[in-house]
Amino acid sequence: MESQLIQRIKKWTKKWTSPLCFSTLFLAGLSCGSNNGKKYNHETATDGQINISVDESFKPVIDAEIKVFESSFPNARIFVHYKPEAECFRDLVKDSTRMIVVTRGLNKEEENFYEDSIHNVPIYGLLAYDAIAIIVNPKSNDTILSMKDVVSLLSGTNSGKQVVMDGASATSTVRYAIDSVLRGQKLGKNVVAAKSSEDVVNYVAGHENAVGFIGVGWIGNPEDPQQLSFMQKVRIAAVQCTSCLGETYVEPYQANIALKRYPMIMGLYYILKENFSGVGNNFVNFLQFERGQLIFARSYLWPARMSFQLRDTKISD
C-alpha cells in the first residue's frame, strides 16, 4: 500500500507528467536556475544557484552553514525555504527544488516513486544528530520527566498540561512524537499548534501550564544571543535516560546526544537530486566534511560524519 506522502505527491504531479511537459521541465532544470529573474546558463559547483527546502527545526544551524558556504564561494547562492517536513518532501518532486534537509532518508517505496516520476533516484545521507527538547514555563515544577510522563503529555492523559508543538501536522517534531513516542497513537486534544519553533518558546513562556516540544538546535547553543534570550523565558526539562544505570535524568545537551543518553534523538539528513556537479553537490560536500561538521558541532548538535572527542572538564574554584 502506498504511503500517504506518495499519494499526495502523485495527485500534485499528475498534471505535469505528460512526456512533452516533463521533458521541458527536466531539461530546463538541468540548464539553468532562476530567482528574481537572474539565470545561470552554465552552472558549476562554485558558480550558480539552488533552491533548497529545509525542515524548520534546523533553521539556526542551516543558516550558519549557508553563511559560511556562501562566504567561501561568493558566486554560489543558496535560496533556503523553511517549512514543515512533509512540505519539504513534496517540494523534492518540483523542478525548482533540487535538495531538501529533513530528519530521515528515503525508503525503498519512495526511491521507486522518484525513479518512476522524475527518472532520477535522489541520493541522501546522515549529516548530524539533533534532539527534541521539552521546555516548560519557569514557574513550572515539572522539570523531571520519565518517558511514561512524556507519553502521558502527548496522548492527553495528563489533562492538566497543554502541549504545544511547531505545527498541527506534517512537521518533524509531530512525526517523531507520533511514530517514536506514541508508537502510532493519535496526539491528545490537549496538543495545540504554534506557527514556528520561536512561537513555541513564546507560548510556553506565557502559559504556566504549557509544555513545549522543540528541536534542540533552537535552544541548545549558549553562544547564540537569540537562543540565550529564549532560555531566559523557559526552562529545559530533564528526561529519564533509559540506557543508564539507576534512575538518571538528562537534558538534551551535546554530550548526552553523542552518547545516546538522551532518549529523543533524531537525525539530520540531506536528500539531493542533482545529477551533475553543481552548487547542490558542492554544498553537500561542504556539510559532510570538516568545516560543515565543525559548524554542526559549534551549534551544539552532534556531527555524524567526523569523529569528535568528548572530554571531561574541571571547573576551578
Output the pTM of the full model.
Answer: 0.83
The vertex-81 CA angle with 79 and 86, nearest 5°, equals 140
pLDDT digits (tens, 9 = 90+) for 174-211: 999 999 999 999 999 999 989 889 999 999 999 999 99
Q: What is the pLDDT of residue 242?
A: 85
Cell numbers placing 290:
570538516
pLDDT at 25 over 50: no
Alpha helices in the chain (DSSP H): 4-13, 19-31, 59-72, 85-91, 108-118, 147-155, 172-176, 197-206, 225-231, 254-258, 279-288, 290-298
Share of the chain above pLDDT 90, in %: 68
- Residue 176 is placed in which grid cell? 517523531
Other beta carbons less than 10 A from residue 8's beta carbon: 14
Q: What is the DSSP pairing of strand 265-272 with strand 235-236?
A: unpaired
**CA dihedral in degrees (229, 232, 234, 236; nearest 10)?**
90
Distance CA(118)–CA(114), nearest Å, equals 6
How far apart are the C-alpha atoms of 65 and 283, rounded to whole Å? 9
pLDDT tier, 124 (very low <50, low <70, confident <90, very high otherwise): very high
Rounded Cα distance, 167 and 181, in Å: 17
- Map out the domains of the chain with their CATH numbers: 4-129+266-303 (3.40.190.10), 131-265 (3.40.190.10)
195: closest CA among 40, 42, 84, 63? 84
CB 103 within 8 A of CB 172: yes
Q: What is the C-alpha separation between 159 and 146, in angstroms, rounded?
A: 17
Collect all residues with Cβ–Cβ distance below 8 Å to 70 and sequence separation of at least 6.
Answer: 76, 77, 78
pLDDT beyond 80 at 38: no
Angle at 178 between CA 177 and CA 180, to 5 degrees: 70
pLDDT in tens, 44-75: 999 999 999 999 999 999 999 999 999 999 99
**pLDDT band of 13, cuts 50, 70, 90:** very low
Position of cell 516520476? Answer: 117
Cα–chain center distance at 305: 17
